Structure 1
Amino acid sequence: MITPSSVTAADEFHAPGPSIFDLPPVFEIGSLGVTKPMLQLIVAAVVVFGFLYLAIRKGTLVPGRLQYAGEEAYGFVRNSIGRDIIGSHDFQKFTPYLVSVFFFILLNNLFASIPLFQFPTFSRSGMAYALAGLSWVIYNAVGMKKHGVLGYLKLQSVPSGVSPAMYPLLVPLEFFSNILVRPVTLALRLFCNMFAGHILLVLFATGGFYLITEYGGIGYVAGPLALVLAIVVSFLEMLIQFLQAYVFALLNAMYIAGALADEH
């Protein structure tokens, strides 16, 4: 029987770390290495577009199953995020974007739990920052279009109902918070949750197999327990994957609503 003292250095367990996200290219186009997360972005975009297109392609008064699923999916984002947050006057024009970003993020997050994929796309920080940067451009452009550049910057930086004596302190903080920090926190929230969740799943799975195959003794008890926890955590992670997509779309709606508002 293998005991802790008999496990050699070569057999020592190496906990998963950031290196597990450094995937080799699937193939190369010239000097560009195309990685798995890059392909997942394309697959997610095609699947989301294809599903929504097929759902509405032959719209009928009495919807079939696919049309009904598409209408329910669209209506969920339209009503619970777009209309409730942005307001009934302006939400319609932003609903397609909110629907697209919600389901695009959701599918990329769920890739972490789908066999053969098993990797959360937005656990790569660059991809999360790129999507947050797109959101930053959209809601700032919306605000500048309505209020003008200077009017929008004033709206976002100068709080109403505050004594001008407080402006030297509050205006830089408001500008920093509303203009500069938002895309960073938007990306970090998505990236960190996907990053940490994936590491946790890999830790439980690899640790469980290690305890069973290399440790022996108590490992025959702790190993299966770790594998059971990996299954439990995987279901919890699916809930987090949904919530992160919802929160990202919700915050986008809130930022758009704030950009359109006449007072800060």
Structure 2
Amino acid sequence: MFSQAATLIAPLATDEPPVFHGPSISEFFPPAIVELFGLEWLSITRINLIQFIATIAVVLFLWLGTRNMRVVPGRFQSLAEMGLGFVRTNIAHDLLGKKDGDRFLPILTTIFFMVLFMNITGIIPFMNIAGTSVIGVPLLLALISYGTFIYAGIKKSPKNFFKNSLFPSGVPWPIYIIVTPIELISTFIIRPVTLTLRLLMNMMVGHLLLVLFFAATQFFLLDLGGWWSALAAGSLAFGFVFTLFEILVAVLQAYVFALLTAVYIQLAVAEEH
């Protein structure tokens, strides 16, 4: 984070005071490292590399944690079992029951760990930005969640899923003129949008705050010096506090994303559908 923050401080001039520049949206649009086949839209940036690393880390974590299961688990197996048990007990079974919970457990587990590992890169040194802080990953996961919701509803009630979703029973037919468009927007349009934006915005804001505090620390301490160093101590303390808070947000957003996916599945497989 310190190395990234250093780029936000204008170089010293001989006759001008140093100028502090806060983080900007350009943080999330780094230059291309590699352009595949010479095509700009297929370019790979630093954030893409972080996403690749996070994906490999998820696969290795789940594979290494479950490949040689023992009655008396080692530390790594215990960690994997703790994460898998958390998703199974607190998300899948709590909302969907044992039968449907076990049925959709693989997708819920994948979503939880993908979001968690992508989020946590935001506080790892030399990465310093979450893989979910650009729209591609949140949108992809939201579409997977949305697709699972549609699949669950059609599988449960092939003929009546869309009908019951758009035309709830017990409503006088003239009221459908108002209710049906609202149900269409809230159920089939708003859900993937809100899933995407909630995760994206949380991770973007978290990154900007961390860069701001650590950049301010370097600016106060190295560029201004003197009594400004007292402010550097304060901004550094806030930076570490927000780092801990960002860890909490990373875990919480993974939980919320998987939880909402389970809620949508539960609504799709409800008896009225």
TM-score by length of 1: 0.90
1:137 aligns with 2:144: no
Q: Which residue of structure 1 lines up, in the alignment, with residue 115 of structure 2?
A: 105
Q: Distance in 1 between matches of 2:172 and 2:156?
A: 26
How far 1:36 moved relative to its partner? 2.1
Structure 1 CA distance for aligned equivalents of residues 223 and 263 of structure 2: 51
More displaced, 44-53 or 8-17? 8-17
Q: CA deviation at 1:151?
A: 1.5
Q: Which moved more, 1:21-30 or 1:249-258?
A: 21-30
Of residues 186, 195, 212, the one that matches 2:221 is: 212
> Which position in structure 2 is the counterpart of 1:228?
237
Equivalent position of 1:19 in the other structure: 26
Distance change in 2, residues 1:234/1:172 (3 Å): same
SS of 2:98's equivalent in the other structure is coil
Cα distance in structure 1, aligned partners of 2:156 and 2:206: 40
Q: What do residues 206-262 of structure 1 show as CA deviations (whole Å, max 9, x unaligned)? A: 122212233345522212211111111111111001100110000011111111112
Q: Among 171, 183, 195, which residue is 1:174 paired with?
A: 183
Name whichever of 198-207 and 220-229 sits farther off. 220-229
Distance 1:114 1:218 in 2: 31
What is the alpha-carbon distance in structure 2 between the residues aligned to residue 214 and residue 124 of structure 1? 31
In structure 2, do the counterparts of structure 1 residues 10 and 22 end up closer, same or farther at CA, with 3 Å as the change threshold? farther
Q: Return 5+ residue gaps in structure 1 as ranges.
A: 1-5
Counterpart residue number, 2:101: 91
SS of the aligned residue for 2:43 comes to strand
User: Which amino acid in the other structure matches residue 165 of structure 1?
Assistant: P
1:193 aligns to what?
202
Tell me if structure 1 keeps the 8 A contact 2:34–2:45.
Answer: yes
> Quick one: which of 74, 77, 81 aligns to 1:64?
74
| Alpha-carbon separation, structure 1, partners of 2:246 and 2:162 | 39
1:229 alignment partner, SS class: helix
| Residue aligned with 2:99, SS | coil
- Contact between 1:82 and 1:94, CA under 8 Å: does it hold in 2? yes
Partner residue of 1:3?
none
Residue identity opposite 1:13 in structure 2: F
Q: 1:9 to 1:263 in 2, by over 3 A?
A: farther
CA distance, structure 2, for counterparts of residue 200 and residue 9 of structure 1: 27
Aligned-pair identity (%): 37
Contact preservation (8 Å) 1:155, 1:262: no
Separation in 2, partners of 1:144, 1:57: 34
Q: How much has 1:114 moved relative to structure 2?
A: 0.8
C-alpha spacing 1:139/1:28, structure 2 compared with 1 (3 Å):
same
Cα-to-partner distance string for 1:162-187 (whole Å, 9 max, x where unaligned) = 33332111111011101111000000
Judged with a 3 Å threshold, the aligned counterparts in structure 2 of structure 1 residues 186 and 9 are, in CA distance, closer, same or farther, namely farther
SS of residue matched to 1:123: coil
1:29 to 21, 33, 36: 36
> Out of 82, 97, 121, which is 2:92 matched to?
82
Gaps of 5+ in 2: 1-12
Worse-superposed segment, 186-195 or 204-213: 204-213
Query: What is the TM-score when the length of structure 2 is the normalising length?
Result: 0.88
Amino acid at match of 1:97: I
- What's the CA shift string for 1:126-175, capped at 9, x where partnerless? 22112211211121122112212x51112222234333332111111011
Q: Secondary structure at the match of 2:160?
A: helix
Distance 1:7 1:87 in 2: 69
Conserved 8 A contact 2:92-2:101 = yes
Alpha-carbon distance in structure 1 between the residues aligned to 2:70 and 2:235: 50
| Conservation of the 8 A alpha-carbon contact between 2:153 and 2:161 | yes
Counterpart of 2:217 in 1: which secondary structure?
A: helix
